[in-house]
Chain A
């Protein structure tokens, strides 16, 4: 099968006003098949949002892609001209932002905001674009497309605003959606509803998706594969079921263990502390010889301090970057 996206050895850094350079991504590679949902799991400082924006070449002005390639539908986006990128962004490859209350214009009706996306990319006449706007909104709001279309963002709930953003993203029929924490500000019931919307879109429109989140539990039953990002590097990558049920990398394991279980055995009446990962992500930002996770790793060994592990293939579909597996 032809890949829809192939990211190879992506290096991105940010420069500060003092001239120093801070690496955000250091050699990230992965592939995406059409119709596939890749969950990118990462916490603050992992480089997950840098990944989303660099794939679209939308980095802030102090961001610099120093190395690598991003082949999307056979074209290297990092070497595409501004004109070519304009044809791709929002049309073939679109981004769904985190905060629907900020991503929508507060003083323009929802329907008009979807219309503007279509008008920017398609040359058809106004009336046919209006018709298309209605169709797109109806696919996300089967029962109240007209009311939503005429509403301002503040008149909509968080879940409805997120659906409007999704409508904008799918309006031009993209083949790949990148969603950066799209459900972070929603309550669990609405979260599941929006995940359901993404699943339906994947099935009905044949979309591929990169779903970026800090919450591993959201990916269960949703993503096909999971890429765990730590300190700008791929910690592990594999089928969702394998990563969630038997994580390999010490970071992933420690992260899962730190999450509370809903049905706890506290029959002895005493509350227990959660097992935590010591320190914070800032340890990964200091350039070092060894593995980026070593300062916080509960399973560190001598060689972890000396050099960086490389990705090891555990099977055809699982890779992990850790010396415990040979790295």
Chain B
């Protein structure tokens, strides 16, 4: 049986002109392979520019990979025709880092939540209203907030709303691209708990893309470490972090901010 999500030799190249004007290919993903079991969390860690976000875009069908396969629920979604891919997209939702940029500032909370439900078009108007209220409750928002604009919510509330919108179409896989990094520490903890709760109750599978190794350690079952478009290390999260074999993983670990200053190497410029 195929695993829930399996990525095989995924390559995504972008063309750009270099200084001399000749075209060159830049590989954001350069042969990435891994698998994720249903109901678990895979953390994808690495520095800026290591290809984490491109990976999320490819899996959520926002970018078409240059080559390779993405097996999701038994189908290779890379090989699908656009019409079929449309049916897959609601099953895989992407949540972004900064909810103040990913929510329409002129729409009310209610409009934001109703949009995916109306576009899907298989619910009666009354049902969509009910579904929106359920979604709000699921992410810990009060239905009193329906008429508010995103700017009238706190950062944590906005990210809850972004999660509710992603849940609207009952996805099976959530791609969480730095969803906690823009939030205050105390709010990060609240949202992290919400994500764990949703995973427990809905059996959700997460691809948790982050550069926060401590949060990755807390939320993830498995972990892949990326560097320059390649997976350089993978395995159970605690094992990767406790016994890193690659230099890049050791560097990432050394840069983790920690309250325990004694554990840190001295600062150098």
Indicate the size class of the contact surface on chain A.
35 or more
Whether A263 contacts B242 by the Cβ 8 Å rule is yes
CA distance A191 to B254 in the complex (A): 12
The answer to whether residues A276 and B190 also contact, given A188-B211, A190-B48 and a CB cut-off of 8 A, is yes
Residue of A nearest to B267 (CB): A196
Q: Which of A186, A261, A280 is B214 in contact with, Cβ under 8 Å?
A: A261
Q: Is A103 an interface residue (CB 8 A)?
A: no
Chain A, range 177-203, C-beta contacts under 8 Å to B:
186-193, 195-197, 199-200
Give the docked Cα–Cα distance between A186 and B267 (Å): 16
Known contacts A187-B47, A221-B267, A273-B196: A262-B257 contact under CB 8 Å: no
Task: Flag if B255 contacts A191 (CB, 8 Å).
Answer: yes
| Interface members, chain B 58-98 (any A CB < 8 Å) | none
B122 within 8 A of A: no
> Are A262 and B214 interface neighbours, CB within 8 A?
yes
Q: Is the CB of B259 within 8 A of A216?
A: yes
Instruction: Check if A199 sits within 8 Å of B269, measured CB to CB.
Output: yes
Minimal beta-carbon separation of B187 from chain A (angstroms): 7
Q: Are B217 and A221 in contact (CB under 8 A)?
A: no
Q: Does A7 contact B (CB under 8 A)?
A: no
Question: Which residue of A has the minimal Cβ distance to B98?
Answer: A185
Question: Which residues between 147 and 198 of chain B lie within 8 Å of chain A, taking CB atoms?
Answer: 154-157, 184-190, 192-193, 196-197
Contact in complex: B219, A276 (CB < 8 Å): no
Q: Which residue of chain B lies nearest to A42 when distances are taken between CB atoms in the complex?
A: B184
Q: With the chains together, A276 CA to B264 CA distance in Å?
A: 26
CB neighbours (8 Å) of A261 from chain B are 214, 217-218
Quick check: A44 and B154 within 8 Å, CB to CB?
Answer: yes
* Chain A 265-298 interface 0/1 with B at a Cβ cutoff of 8 Å (1 = within): 0100001011111001110000000000000000
When C-beta atoms are compared, the residue in chain B nearest to A158 turns out to be: B48
The reply to whether the CB of A214 lies closer than 8 angstroms to some CB of chain B is: yes
**Complex Cα distance A191/B48, Å?**
11
Contact pick for B257, options A220, A258, A274, A281, CB 8 Å: A220
A218 sits at the interface (CB 8 A): yes
Least CB distance from B148 to A in Å reads 13
Report whether A274 and B261 are in contact in the complex, using a CB–CB cutoff of 8 Å.
no
Residues of B within 8 Å of A138, CB to CB, are none
With A44-B155, A158-B48 known to touch, is A222 a contact of B267 (CB < 8 Å)?
A: yes
In whole angstroms, how far apart are the Cα atoms of A110 and B261 in the complex? Answer: 34
Q: Are B185 and A259 in contact (CB under 8 A)?
A: yes
User: Is A144 interfacial (CB 8 A cutoff)?
Assistant: no
B100 contacts the other chain (CB 8 A)? no
Return the contact of A256 from the options B218, B256, B259 (Cβ within 8 A).
B259
Question: Shortest CB–CB separation between residue B248 and chain A, in angstroms?
Answer: 10
- Using A218-B257, A282-B154 as known contacts, say yes or no to A43 and B267 having CB atoms under 8 A apart: no
Q: Does the CB pair A215–B196 fall under 8 Å? A: no
A214-B184, A261-B214 are known contacts. Are A188 and B252 too (CB-CB below 8 A)? yes
From B156, B157, B257, B258, name the one whose CB has the most chain A CB atoms within 10 angstroms: B257
Q: Compute how far the CA of A256 lies from the CA of B257 in the bound complex, rounded to whole angstroms.
A: 13
Would you call B114 an interface residue if the criterion is a C-beta within 8 Å of the partner chain's C-beta atoms?
A: no
Decide yes or no whether B260 CB sits under 8 A from chain A.
Answer: yes
**Nearest CB of B to A249, in Å:** 14
CB-CB under 8 A for A263 and B196, given A191-B257, A275-B189? no
Which of B47, B190, B217 is close to A264, meaning CB atoms less than 8 Å apart? B217
Given contacts A263-B242, A273-B196, A277-B186, A188 and B255 within 8 Å (CB-CB): yes
Minimum Cβ distance to chain A for residue B56 (Å): 16
Closest chain-A Cβ to B144's Cβ sits at a distance in Å of 14
Within 8 A of A (CB), among B96-113: none
CB distance from A313 to the nearest CB of B (A): 24
Q: List B residues at the A interface (Cβ < 8 Å).
A: 47-48, 154-157, 184-190, 192-193, 196-197, 211-215, 217-219, 238, 241-242, 251-253, 255-261, 264, 266-269
A residues bordering B, Cβ < 8 Å? 43-44, 157-158, 186-193, 195-197, 199-200, 214-218, 220-222, 240-241, 244-245, 254-256, 258-264, 266, 271, 273-277, 280-282
Instruction: Identify 14 residue pairs between A and B in the complex whose beta-carbon atoms are under 8 Å apart, listed by A's number.
Output: A44-B155, A44-B187, A157-B48, A187-B47, A199-B269, A214-B184, A217-B259, A255-B186, A258-B188, A259-B185, A263-B242, A274-B192, A276-B189, A277-B186
